[in-house]
Amino acid sequence: MSKAGEIPVRKRFPYRRPPELDAASPRRLKLLIVGGGPIGLTAALDLAQRGYEIVLLNKLDIVADGSKALCFSKRTLEVYDRLGVGERLVREGVAWNLGKVFWGDRAEPIYEFTMLPIPDQKNPGFINLQQFYLEEYLLDALAAFPNVDIRWRNEVIGVEQRRDHVEVRVDTPDGAYTLAAEYVLACDGSKSPIRGMLGLDFEGKVFEDNFLIADVRFEQERPTERWFWFSPPFPGESALLHKQPHGVWRLDFQLGWNIDRDEAVKPENVAPFVEGMIGKDVPYSFEWLSIYTFQCRRMARFLHDRILFAGDAAHLVSPFGARGANGGVADVENLVWKLDLVLKGAAPRALLESYDDEATTIADVNILNSTRSTEFITPKSRTSRALRDAVLGLAQTHAFARPFVNSGRLATAVATPRSPLNTPDDESWRGGVAPGTPAIDARLGDQEWLLAHLHNGVTLLALNLPGPAIARARALARDLADISAVRFVSLRDTGASSLAERYDAAGGALYLVRPDQYVAARWKTVDEAKVRLALKRLLGHMLVAEGARYEAVA
């Protein structure tokens, strides 16, 4: 259970003396990943699968026990499917789609929402699984790669940007050494020492409220849904209940600002909250207790020359909406393919600038949503409280008020419709997947899914195209090899599948899909010149041509 001052250990890993301590000159790496949280580990797995030699530094030598992220979104699961760990996460986690919001002692919810508004996709809207399981599964997957070197108890204590590399000073139990890397991924968490070493800003809001997390083991039949209470009929100003695997539940209570945190976290003081929620006669035991506060802030830029920030190091959100780790996975998803192509010389360095552009756009959406949820859940003035309570009151009887109820807008994929890597539509579309939006999954057969046909590279995706057009598109994909390798995939609707509807492809459509599964461009016919230009744009070649701020990268 939570103890102040020491980090509880779930699993410990062996420190090994790094070879550099005994070498004359520093080793030169292409890539160095700093941080062994979910984001650093995810980046390592993605890059390891692309064949890079990976060194990952972690100042700790443990996977920490204790409660942090629990809820992982469909989009995150889709990313992990691409990386080969998605099915294990879904198998071990608790899948859910439905959220219910209660007010006071009313037995009926005043609002309900689904996280899977478009059904029949491979992954559920969300799973609940403790963050340490995710970290363990990522470490298991990484163990299969001989090209991955995870260095426990290796702490970064200095960084220096040079013209064509970064020099990183690392401290270990046996002394300090230096590494040189072409690029450094700073995934070193919310307190990011690297951010500090570079003297960079981290701006935003701190919210004045305390939340109690209680992971509690008990047996009770309850639907697998997210339940949230405003002004619950038990202690707490608001409360949240989530089911976890293995008979554990996550209970979360809003305590207010002026409290004694040490007192509040004592089991005897938590008991009334728990018993109020689950009932006095249900036997239970505590797995974990802690108190957290939170902030919504981000760095002005995520890209600083050869140092790339991702995850909590780059942005922080309130937990309402589960946008923290999910947002960090989105960073990795956006970054890794760009880094890969730049390192291979297949794309200009300007492409990395688009990481800054797109990932800050995504972070802003996450911060906006989680800030709004926080303001609704913890109103900070009399008037905002009156407005909030007015919404809750009206929601009981009037449908119009229900969509205002904001108990957290949970993480979904964030679109980047204005990214300069997109080619805007030049035909009229009725829905479908617009440029800047991730491809949506669709069932193709019994256990066959559309997203499984996408891979780590660029895909030219033909949907319901007529025969002659398929042949032309296939030949085109081959010819595009002078710009970049492109995989051609042709799918058509059979029986109950829904490509026509999901992709506005009844009359045939051609989609150009990025390695991170975001749509870059789409057409209704096969036009070689247009596809060529869109591919160049996707790879960042036009950023250089169009100049402006993207030329800043030397």
Residue numbers of the site for ligand FAD (CB under 6 A)? 34-40, 57-60, 67-71, 131, 155-156, 187-190, 193, 213, 292, 311-313, 319, 322, 324-326, 328
Nearer Cβ to ligand FAD, position 189 or 540? 189
Nearer Cβ to other proteins, position 233 or 393? 393
400 touches other proteins by CB under 8 A = yes
From the list other proteins, ligand FAD, none, pick the one residue 64 interacts with, judged by a Cβ distance below 5 to 8 Å according to partner type: none
From the list other proteins, ligand FAD, none, pick the one residue 66 interacts with, judged by a Cβ distance below 5 to 8 Å according to partner type: none
Candidates 118, 206, 300, 390: give the one binding other proteins (CB under 8 A): 390
Write out the H or E segment, with its range, that includes residue 64.
strand 62-64
DSSP string, 518-531: BEEEEESS--HHHH
393 touches other proteins by CB under 8 A = yes
Shortest distance, position 163 Cβ to ligand FAD, whole Å:
24
Nearer Cβ to other proteins, position 203 or 263? 203
Tokens of 517: 């599964």
From the list other proteins, ligand FAD, none, pick the one residue 401 interacts with, judged by a Cβ distance below 5 to 8 Å according to partner type: other proteins
Window contacting other proteins (CB under 8 A); options: 94-102, 188-196, 294-302, 384-392: 384-392
**Nearest to residue 335, comparing CAs of 132, 186, 142?**
186
457 touches other proteins by CB under 8 A = no
Are 509 and 456 within 8 A, CB to CB? Answer: no
Nearer Cβ to ligand FAD, position 410 or 462? 410
From the list other proteins, ligand FAD, none, pick the one residue 382 interacts with, judged by a Cβ distance below 5 to 8 Å according to partner type: other proteins
Window contacting other proteins (CB under 8 A); options: 39-47, 110-118, 380-388, 524-532: 380-388
368 touches other proteins by CB under 8 A = no
From the list ligand FAD, other proteins, none, pick the one residue 303 interacts with, judged by a Cβ distance below 5 to 8 Å according to partner type: none
The SS3 call for residue 89 is helix
Are 519 and 435 within 8 A, CB to CB? Answer: yes
Are 60 and 36 within 8 A, CB to CB? Answer: yes
Rounded Cα–Cα distance for residues 141 and 45 (Å): 7
From the list other proteins, ligand FAD, none, pick the one residue 331 interacts with, judged by a Cβ distance below 5 to 8 Å according to partner type: none
391 touches other proteins by CB under 8 A = yes
Are 524 and 427 within 8 A, CB to CB? Answer: yes
Q: Please name the residue ranges forming H helices in 211-289.
A: 261-264, 267-278
From the list ligand FAD, other proteins, none, pick the one residue 155 interacts with, judged by a Cβ distance below 5 to 8 Å according to partner type: ligand FAD
Q: For residue 435, what are the contacts with CB-CB under 8 A and spacing of at least 6?
A: 417, 422, 423, 424, 425, 519, 520, 521, 522
Shortest distance, position 386 Cβ to other proteins, whole Å:
4
Nearer Cβ to other proteins, position 343 or 394? 394
Candidates 389, 493, 527, 551: give the one binding other proteins (CB under 8 A): 389
Q: By CB neighbour count within 10 A (0-12 exposed, 13-18 middle, 19+ buried), where does 7 fall?
A: exposed
Place of tokens 């009334």: 272
From the list other proteins, ligand FAD, none, pick the one residue 404 interacts with, judged by a Cβ distance below 5 to 8 Å according to partner type: other proteins
From the list ligand FAD, other proteins, none, pick the one residue 513 interacts with, judged by a Cβ distance below 5 to 8 Å according to partner type: none
Pairing of strands 166-172, 315-316: unpaired
Nearer Cβ to ligand FAD, position 105 or 364? 364
Nearer Cβ to ligand FAD, position 60 or 452? 60
DSSP string, 120-147: --SS-SEEE--HHHHHHHHHHHHHT-TT
Tokens of 222: 């309850």
Nearer Cβ to ligand FAD, position 141 or 187? 187
Are 155 and 140 within 8 A, CB to CB? Answer: no
Strand partners, 73: 126
Q: What are the distances in angstroms from CA 146 to CA 51, 55, 179, 237, 467?
A: 10, 11, 20, 51, 44
197 touches other proteins by CB under 8 A = no
Nearer Cβ to ligand FAD, position 40 or 236? 40
Nearer Cβ to other proteins, position 26 or 379? 379
Q: At what angle do helices 38-49 and 324-343 cross, to 10 degrees?
A: 30
From the list ligand FAD, other proteins, none, pick the one residue 37 interacts with, judged by a Cβ distance below 5 to 8 Å according to partner type: ligand FAD
Shortest distance, position 398 Cβ to other proteins, whole Å:
8
Measure CA 444 to chain center: 26
Tokens of 385: 């409280």
Rounded Cα–Cα distance for residues 225 and 97 (Å): 7
From the list ligand FAD, other proteins, none, pick the one residue 156 interacts with, judged by a Cβ distance below 5 to 8 Å according to partner type: ligand FAD
Rounded Cα–Cα distance for residues 415 and 435 (Å): 9
Shortest distance, position 400 Cβ to other proteins, whole Å:
4
Q: Which DSSP category does 438 fall into?
A: B
Are 433 and 451 within 8 A, CB to CB? Answer: no
Q: Which residues bind other proteins (CB under 8 A)?
A: 382-383, 386-387, 389-391, 393-394, 398, 400-401, 404
